[in-house]
Amino acid sequence: MVDWEMTDNTLLQIRNVSKCYAGLGESRAVLRDVSLDLQAGESIALTGESGSGKSTLLHLVGALDYYDSGEIEIDGTSLTNLNDSARSELRRNTVSLVFQQFNLVPSLNVAQNISLHARLANRVDLTWITSLTSRLGLTELGDRYPEQLSGGQQQRVAIGRALAVRPKLLLADEPTGNLDEIASSAVMDLMLKLVRESGAALFLVTHSVQVANQLDRRVHLSAGKIA
Amino acid sequence: MNAKFFLTALFLCLPVTASTQGFAGLGTNAKGFAIPQRGAVLSFPEDHGSHPNFRIEWWYLTANLKGDDGLDYGVQWTLFRSALRPGSEDGWSSPQLWMGHAGLTTPTHQFFAERLARGGIGQAGVTAEPFMAWIDNWEMTGVRPALQHLDLKASGADFAYDLDMSTQGQQLVLHGDNGYSVKSAGGQASYYYSQPHYQITGTLILPNGPVAVTGQGWLDREWSSQPLAEDQSGWDWFSLSFDSGDKLMGFVLRGASADFTSGSWISADGTITALQPGDFQALALKHSDVSRRSIPTEWKITLPTQELSVVIQAVNEQSWMGTSFPYWEGPVTISGSHTGRGYLEMTGYE
Amino acid sequence: MKRAALGALLSHWWRHRLQLITLLTGLALATGLWSAVQAINGEAKASYDLATSKMGARQNETLVPKAGFIPLSRYVELRRSGWRLSPVLEGHWPQNTGSLRLIGVDLLSHPTFSNIAKNSTSGSSYSLDALNSQGQLFLNPKTLKQLTVQVDLPPIVQSDQIPIDVVLGDISLVERLLQRPGQITRLIILPEQPLGLHPLEDLAPELQLQSYDAGQISRLTDSFHLNLTAFGLLSFAVGLFIVHGSVGLGIEQRRGLFRTLRAMGVPLHLLTVLLLSELLLIAIVAGSAGLVLGYLIAAALLPDVSATLSGLYGATVEGSLNLRPGWLISGIAMAVVGTLIASTQAITNIYKMPLLAAPGLQARAQAASNQQYGIAVLGLGLIASGTASMLVFDGLIAGFALLAGVMLGTALMLPLLLSWVLTLGLRNARSALGEWIWADMRAQLPGISLALMALLLALATNIGVGTMVSSFRLTFLGWMDQRLSAELYVTAKDEEQAQKFVLWLVGRDVTVLPIRWSEVPFHETKLRIYGVLDDPTYREKWPMLQAQDGAWDRVSNGTAVIINEQLARRRNLWPGDDLNLTSSWKMTVVGVYSDYGNPHEQAIVTLPVLLLHADNVPNLRFGLRLPPSSVQNLIKEVQQEADFEGITLVDQNDLKARSLAVFDRTFVVTGALNLLTLGVAGFAILTSLLTLWNMRLPQLAPIWALGITRRQLAWLELWRSLALAALTAILALPLGLLLAWVLLSIINVEAFGWKLPMYLFPLDWLRLLLLALVAAAIAAAIPARKLALIKPSDLLKVFAHER
Ligand SMILES: Nc1ncnc2c1ncn2[C@@H]1O[C@H](COP(=O)(O)OP(=O)(O)O)[C@@H](O)[C@H]1O
Ligand SMILES: [Mg+2]
């Protein structure tokens, strides 16, 4: 670790992180020596070919998976040697995730889904949630269940749920990958706007150059290395 | 007058309302049963046997013993008879019920046992000639002439004794008016005689092993159909043998309004003086806690006619017979104007 | 966090209420059946204990004579030697219908008589009135109506401390009523004995020591209760299959939810704890409902159980049910433990579930198939160990171990067997649709196989128990025809009346067959010996199982004895063996006869021989042979004679009808539990199909898209369910027959002392198959209806949500 790289505002530090998946026989390096910083409120687009390791990197940052070497630090806390409950706490309070497959809770309605993460973190800000819901155009749909929504609507709920807790860092893995083009750009625009408003930093995996260009920075991953 | 409680067995059946009917139902009336008559002449050996037409009867032996270990011991052996109806019958239908009590008192411990039996089947009974009183394997067996020589046996779960008792041919003591002993101012009475002159040798079986003993014994015989007046709740009975050779039997029947006292003075030369009501005085000096009751275990006895004034002390204050009808019975020591040993029985302490 | 997470978890059940209800109902049914059986057993045991303690013989050992009775003089001798004993004289006191146990005790020495008297209706006035010349009889208020003999009875004192069917009195009175003066049946050894006693063996070598408490009642009834318990466990097991299925599904369906919650920061241990609490809550709710259900079932069945117990074993169970804390706790505990057992697998899966990477569907199918093999191997192991237990243990335990092993083992092998059958079907399918149907059925198998296992168990039990009961009934009917061969059965009030009656019959073309017996002590129990007069009736009709040539000749010339099957099996005595009836009376066994419905050992000799060896052989009962047409006339004539007042006449048909009623009542409980178990299994199928429904849409949508109508799909769905149920029912048949065989040839012999031939009842099987199909059809009807009526858009969604 080198001193000068640290600044007061650094939210995420990824340093020399490598990750292998144990394959049949030999093990395969998915990420090799990846280093990256993210300031608070900053947004980064992560691009790369399918299978280049983008999702893997995002999962490591979201403390959903474990790296083999290097170090990731979020908000001053190193993920190395963190136990399950500390990792859970980090996910609950600091980081939010939006997935390609929405991952809504089918047995909860829209309103309940949106507030779920905030309630789990015990940080319910009703004004913020109400405004979020209305900005996402979901006010009318509060009573509906996920199965009664279109894909675009479902992903808006997922975005609302992730932002409702006011995370410092939002991790989004191809959030519009399952949507058609029109829905996709509408949802993306809305998400970027809301992220900016909420002041969260954004780490977004995307295929779209157009989307990537809207963010502060752009990083390209190729065969597990940052180009 | 160890008239006790008799018949526990009887009482099993009678509603036990001791306050109005006396200790153990002894105060109930005697319908259909024979009643003691003044002037009747007792006849021996027949009267050593049982009298099935009278409601209650007992053969009651107490003994003051000294062990070869130097300790004082007391032994009690009692056979009660109680009749549901007058008369005898063979088999289970016999109206006669029998109850045995055996007690053994050491200075620190009281052992006792109880036996019940139905009459008519041979499990318990008394024959006059040859003399034998028994219930289960407890026996008081006489060797002719009757009552001159007795063999006495009893055993319980934690004790047993076997005593050999003999007199030097002394006469029986007939209490009251030639054996007619009045028990209340209202005239209730019983037939009552004693043989107080037994010399004893024998063996006690105690948890720690056998103890050889010697000493003296006193046999009481009494039968009646209604020995207590209705308001009499119990009695204190004393049989005292003085070192002078004199003996005293005295009792206090505790009544609701007045106590009734009586007894006999048996002088060393064999003369018997029946005591008049009031002659015999007993005053409780000290009470002890016995089986959650307060019971007098030290007495002052006075008999002015014999210039007697003595203090009676229990050898073991806890001489409690926890039988169906519980009472206190145990050996005592005598000090004061006269010295000696004796037995004390107290009933009706609730 | 906890509340929000728990809320999210529980919201699943709110959205899937039907699933929740089925889960709760399944668990409640299982707990209900189990606790009903427990309640019945508990009540019966409590009744026996009470009866024993009422008789004051709980801890006390008794002395009984090796032969005959104990003379009074022996009692007195033993007392005089110091032994503290209490005498008891006991005998049967004939009443107009049946007899009462008349027990005489010495009121002074009996260990608990005073308690009985104290609690009597006459309150404190119990007294030695009972020792008066007139005496008193003590009995339970419920016994009063059975006291029908019209002799001069002493005053009656009622006390509920006295067991039903027992009359207690002082021995002086009882020896008179039983006409057995000076006799004693047994001596209770009182707890406290004095020092220095001589051993009883030396004092009274002709008496033997007996622990009364471990007496026959409990040994005999134990087997009945074991039967019930086995049934209860079986229904519980069937219930657990449901719970396992529903809980597993409930967890499976929420895998995504668990991942999402974990991704939002719910720690793994909290998630596990929450899931366990959820299950605990479900278990407690369902368990409580089950207890209520169990109580109701038990209350409904108890009267029949007590009838069974008194009919078969002579044990009395009072007909009312009490709530026992132990029972409540064990019921809930059973529900909780059962739920936990049923869900361990699901919970461990969750605990091990990776946060990421859902395993592919293909992999899961592979795992299911591997599991199928694993389970089948386990099943094979169970069958093997069940069979092996026959070699290791004997008797009842071996029988039940064999049953448990084979039944559970076969159930576990069911999925593999079915999948083989389906694969076979798939290979032979001609059309594309047929192929799809077979393949789809096979794919459906893992989801529904638990329910099918439950169905298999329930059906097999039904076939097995049904075959047993029907075989028994058939045998019993035939046996009754032989055994109850006299046209009229007569019981006289007393011996004098009996003599008059026999004289009166002379010249009326009636053959009189005296029914006289005596009971002698025999191997710590009693042996009833009948004395009969030679008559063609016996020679032709008596239900012999085995007999030597000329058996009846040898019986009637007084050299031989015939015995009942119970005696033969228990003591292993068969024709040709010698039997010691008492210490001084030995005879050769020449025949064995069947004697159903009687728990006790029994022998028959010729009457003169019996009278020679036994006293107290009352002569009160007769069988009368006469032309059936004159039966009614004779009855009328007898009723008109003043001398014959109080005489009881029962005609053969009456007696048969009554016996059959008792028999049928005996199996009401079995039948009811049987049916309930089948109900539970039907419910299991319903549950599985309903819960599978949602998962099946994605599989159905493509077929629909290929041009099969929804109606067709619905019918297919129904047929599929019927086919699976039918396959299961066919597999259940051999299993059920095996069960029947074990019940008839092993369990029955141990429990009742008789072996029964096995009859087959194909019509019953057909009925059962239909019942299973109906259950399956009803279960499939709801999802099928849903399918037939589903909106096309719902099917389309499957495509819209390509996952
Ligand atoms: N759980 C896993 N086990 C084994 N290999 C994996 C696993 N997850 C991802 N991979 C492999 O790691 C590589 C990177 O995958 P991923 O990060 O998902 O790529 P991207 O998101 O860029 O498409 C791919 O080759 C993928 O097959
Ligand atoms: Mg990816």
Average of per-residue pLDDT across C585-605: 85
- Segment C266-283, tens digit of pLDDT: 998 899 899 999 999 999
Q: Quick one: which ligand is closest to A48's CA?
A: 1
| pLDDT over 90 (residue C444) | no
Q: How far is B226 from chain C (nearest CA, A)?
A: 19
Q: How many CB pairs under 8 A join B and C?
A: 84
Sign, CA dihedral B282-B284-B288-B291, equals positive
Mode of pairing for the β-strands spanning C156-158 and C137-139: parallel
pLDDT band at C802 (very low <50, low <70, confident <90, very high): very low
Count of C-beta atoms within a 10 Å radius of residue C640: 8
For the ranges A88-97, B180-189, C187-196, C747-756, the maximum mean pLDDT occurs at A88-97
Cβ–Cβ below 8 Å for A107 and C8: yes
| pLDDT over 80 (residue C104) | yes
How many angstroms separate the alpha carbon of residue A20 from the centre of ligand 1? 10
- Segment C636-691, tens digit of pLDDT: 888 888 788 777 777 888 777 777 776 676 667 777 777 777 777 777 777 667 66
Domains of chain B, by residue range, sit at 4-20+44-346
| Of C524, C541, C521, C523, the residue nearest C532 (C-alpha) | C541
Q: What is the DSSP string of C298-363?
A: HHHHHHHHHHHIIIII-----S-----HHHHHHHHHHHHHHHHHHHHHHHHHHHH--SS-PPPHHH
pLDDT at residue C586, rounded to an integer: 87
pLDDT at residue C465, rounded to an integer: 78
| pLDDT over 70 (residue C59) | no
- Segment C707-737, tens digit of pLDDT: 778 888 888 888 888 888 888 888 889 988 9
Among the partner residues B91, B115, B205, nearest to C195 by beta-carbon distance:
B205
pLDDT at residue A96, rounded to an integer: 92
Count of C-beta atoms within a 10 Å radius of residue C639: 11
pLDDT at residue C597, rounded to an integer: 64
Q: Which pair of structure tokens corresponds to residue C134?
A: 């007139």
Average pLDDT of chain C to the nearest whole number: 79
Q: Which pair of structure tokens corresponds to residue C59?
A: 């801890």
Residue of C nearest to B136 (CA): C80
For residue C124, list chain B residues with Cβ-Cβ distance below 8 A: 15
For the ranges B25-29, C221-225, C287-291, C643-647, the maximum mean pLDDT occurs at C287-291
Is the Cβ atom of A55 under 6 angstroms away from ligand 1?
yes
Is the Cβ atom of A22 under 6 angstroms away from ligand 1?
no
Residue type, B117: A
| pLDDT over 90 (residue C693) | no
Query: What DSSP element (H or E) covers B153?
Result: strand B149-155
SS3 A84: helix
Beta carbons within 8 Å of B239's beta carbon, 6+ residues apart: B62, B194, B196, B218, B220, B247, B248, B249, B342, B343
Average pLDDT of chain B to the nearest whole number: 87
Query: What DSSP element (H or E) covers B223?
Result: strand B209-224
pLDDT band at C190 (very low <50, low <70, confident <90, very high): confident
* Test mutation, C77, C80, C120, chain B, max B CBs within 10 A: C80
Residue of C nearest to B89 (CA): C133
Q: How far is C151 from chain B (nearest CA, A)?
A: 19
CATH number at residue A144: 3.40.50.300
Of residues C54 and A152, the one with the higher pLDDT is: A152
pLDDT at residue C164, rounded to an integer: 74
Q: Which pair of structure tokens corresponds to residue B6?
A: 């008799």
Mode of pairing for the β-strands spanning A201-205 and A217-222: unpaired
Q: How many residues does chain C have?
A: 803
Among the partner residues A65, A92, A147, nearest to C264 by beta-carbon distance:
A92
User: Residue A213 burial (CB < 10 Å; 0-12/13-18/19+)?
Assistant: exposed
SS3 A125: coil
Which residues sit opposite C94 in a β-bridge? C99
Rounded Cα distance, A80 and A66, in Å? 8
Among the partner residues C133, C172, C196, nearest to B155 by beta-carbon distance:
C196
| pLDDT over 80 (residue C408) | yes
Count of C-beta atoms within a 10 Å radius of residue C551: 22
Ligand 1 atom 18: the closest Cα is on which residue? A55
| Of A12, A44, A39, the residue nearest A217 (C-alpha) | A44
Rounded Cα distance, C2 and C17, in Å? 22
DSSP B341: E
User: Residue A158 burial (CB < 10 Å; 0-12/13-18/19+)?
Assistant: buried
Rounded Cα distance, C64 and C482, in Å? 36
Is the Cβ atom of A47 under 6 angstroms away from ligand 1?
no
Cβ–Cβ below 8 Å for A107 and C14: yes
User: Residue C21 burial (CB < 10 Å; 0-12/13-18/19+)?
Assistant: middle
**In-domain check, residue A4:** no
Are the C-beta atoms of residues A96 and A163 closer than 8 Å to each other? yes
For residue C182, list chain B residues with Cβ-Cβ distance below 8 A: 91
For residue A91, list chain C residues with Cβ-Cβ distance below 8 A: 263-265
Residue B206 dihedral angles phi and psi, to the nearest 5°: -120, 165
- Segment C503-543, tens digit of pLDDT: 888 888 888 888 888 888 787 677 889 888 888 888 888 88
Domains of chain C, by residue range, sit at 1-54+221-358, 56-212, 360-476+657-752+760-803, 483-656
Which residues sit opposite C766 in a β-bridge? none
SS3 B171: coil
| Of A171, A173, A179, the residue nearest A150 (C-alpha) | A179
How many angstroms separate the alpha carbon of residue C250 from the centre of ligand 2? 29
Average of per-residue pLDDT across A127-146: 92
Beta carbons within 8 Å of C99's beta carbon, 6+ residues apart: C92, C93
Are the C-beta atoms of residues B200 and B165 closer than 8 Å to each other? yes
Sign, CA dihedral C153-C158-C164-C170, equals negative
Average of per-residue pLDDT across B210-225: 94
Ligand 1 atom 21: the closest Cα is on which residue? A55
Across chain A, how many H-helices and E-strands are there? Answer: 7, 10
Of residues C169 and C706, the one with the higher pLDDT is: C169
- Segment C131-161, tens digit of pLDDT: 777 788 888 888 888 787 766 788 888 887 7
Among the partner residues C14, C261, C263, nearest to A97 by beta-carbon distance:
C263
For residue C175, list chain B residues with Cβ-Cβ distance below 8 A: 92
Of residues C739 and C99, the one with the higher pLDDT is: C739
C28-32, C117-121, C129-133, C553-557: least confident range: C117-121
| Of C212, C119, C132, C120, the residue nearest C170 (C-alpha) | C132
**In-domain check, residue A58:** yes
For the ranges C26-30, C162-166, C670-674, the maximum mean pLDDT occurs at C26-30
Asked if C256 has any chain A CB less than 8 Å from its own CB, the reply is yes
pLDDT at residue B188, rounded to an integer: 82
| Of B124, B99, B123, B125, the residue nearest B112 (C-alpha) | B99
Rounded Cα distance, C724 and C718, in Å? 10
For residue B205, list chain C residues with Cβ-Cβ distance below 8 A: 195-196
Is the Cβ atom of C357 under 6 angstroms away from ligand 1?
yes
pLDDT at residue C38, rounded to an integer: 81
A186-190, B39-43, C46-50, C758-762: least confident range: C46-50
Chain-centre distance of CA A190, in angstroms? 15
- Segment A86-126, tens digit of pLDDT: 988 999 999 999 988 878 888 889 999 999 999 999 889 99
How many angstroms separate the alpha carbon of residue C422 from the centre of ligand 2? 40
Q: How many residues does chain B have?
A: 350
Q: How far is A3 from chain C (nearest CA, A)?
A: 31
Q: Quick one: which ligand is closest to A59's CA?
A: 1
Asked if C262 has any chain A CB less than 8 Å from its own CB, the reply is yes
Alpha helices in C171-215 (DSSP H): 171-177, 200-203
**In-domain check, residue A21:** no
Sign, CA dihedral C321-C324-C330-C335, equals positive
Rounded Cα distance, B207 and C226, in Å? 48
pLDDT at residue B141, rounded to an integer: 94
**In-domain check, residue A133:** yes
* Test mutation, A56, A79, A83, A116, chain C, max C CBs within 10 A: A116
Greatest Cα pair distance in chain B: 54
pLDDT at residue C312, rounded to an integer: 55
With contact defined as 3+ CB pairs under 8 Å, the chains touching C are A, B
Are the C-beta atoms of residues A72 and A60 closer than 8 Å to each other? yes
Express as a percent the part of chain C with pLDDT over 90.
Answer: 9
Mode of pairing for the β-strands spanning C207-211 and C602-606: unpaired
Asked if C296 has any chain A CB less than 8 Å from its own CB, the reply is no
pLDDT at residue A60, rounded to an integer: 92
Most informative mutation of A20, A46, A55 for ligand 1 (most atoms within 8 A of CB): A55
Is the Cβ atom of A52 under 6 angstroms away from ligand 1?
yes
| pLDDT over 70 (residue B244) | yes
pLDDT at residue B96, rounded to an integer: 92
| pLDDT over 90 (residue C796) | no
Express as a percent the part of chain B with pLDDT over 90.
Answer: 65
| pLDDT over 70 (residue C316) | no
User: Any idea what the Cα angle at residue C653 is, between residues C648 and C659, rounded to 5°?
Assistant: 85
- Segment C344-377, tens digit of pLDDT: 877 887 777 777 654 344 444 455 666 778 888 8
pLDDT at residue C214, rounded to an integer: 39
- Segment B49-103, tens digit of pLDDT: 999 999 899 999 999 999 999 999 999 999 999 888 888 889 999 999 999 999 9
Ligand 1 atom 10: the closest Cα is on which residue? A21
**In-domain check, residue A1:** no
Rounded Cα distance, C644 and C491, in Å? 11
For residue B91, list chain C residues with Cβ-Cβ distance below 8 A: 72, 172, 181-182
How many angstroms separate the alpha carbon of residue A207 from the centre of ligand 2? 10
Beta carbons within 8 Å of C689's beta carbon, 6+ residues apart: C448, C451, C721, C779, C780, C782, C783
Cβ–Cβ below 8 Å for B136 and C84: yes
B4-20+44-346: CATH number: 2.40.370.10
Of residues A223 and A28, the one with the higher pLDDT is: A223
Count of C-beta atoms within a 10 Å radius of residue C211: 12
Rounded Cα distance, C256 and C73, in Å? 87
* Test mutation, C17, C253, C262, C264, chain A, max A CBs within 10 A: C264
Q: Which residue has the tokens 């037995």?
A: B343
Q: How far is C785 from chain A (nearest CA, A)?
A: 21
pLDDT at residue C222, rounded to an integer: 62
Ligand 1 atom 19: the closest Cα is on which residue? A51
Rounded Cα distance, B223 and B80, in Å? 10
- Segment B118-154, tens digit of pLDDT: 999 999 999 998 899 999 999 999 987 778 999 999 9
Q: Give C616's Cβ-side CA count (13 Å radius).
A: 21
Q: How far is C189 from chain B (nearest CA, A)?
A: 14
Mode of pairing for the β-strands spanning B340-346 and C156-158: unpaired
Rounded Cα distance, B292 and C656, in Å? 66
Is the Cβ atom of A53 under 6 angstroms away from ligand 1?
yes
Q: Quick one: which ligand is closest to A54's CA?
A: 1
Which residues sit opposite C156 in a β-bridge? C137
Average of per-residue pLDDT across C303-331: 68
Cβ–Cβ below 8 Å for B118 and C72: no
Query: What DSSP element (H or E) covers B262?
Result: strand B260-266
**In-domain check, residue A93:** yes
Express as a percent the part of chain B with pLDDT over 70.
Answer: 90
For residue C264, list chain A residues with Cβ-Cβ distance below 8 A: 91-92, 96-97, 116-117, 120-121
Are the C-beta atoms of residues C515 and C486 closer than 8 Å to each other? no
Rounded Cα distance, C768 and C678, in Å? 10
Cβ–Cβ below 8 Å for C131 and B13: yes
pLDDT at residue C422, rounded to an integer: 87
Q: Which residue has the tokens 């199996």?
A: C667
Question: In this predicted complex, what is the ipTM?
Answer: 0.91
- Segment A2-33, tens digit of pLDDT: 444 445 688 999 999 999 887 655 667 889 99
| Of A129, A160, A158, the residue nearest A146 (C-alpha) | A158
- Segment A29-85, tens digit of pLDDT: 889 999 999 999 999 999 999 889 998 899 899 988 889 999 999 998 999 988 888
How many angstroms separate the alpha carbon of residue A54 from the centre of ligand 2? 6
Is the Cβ atom of A21 under 6 angstroms away from ligand 1?
yes
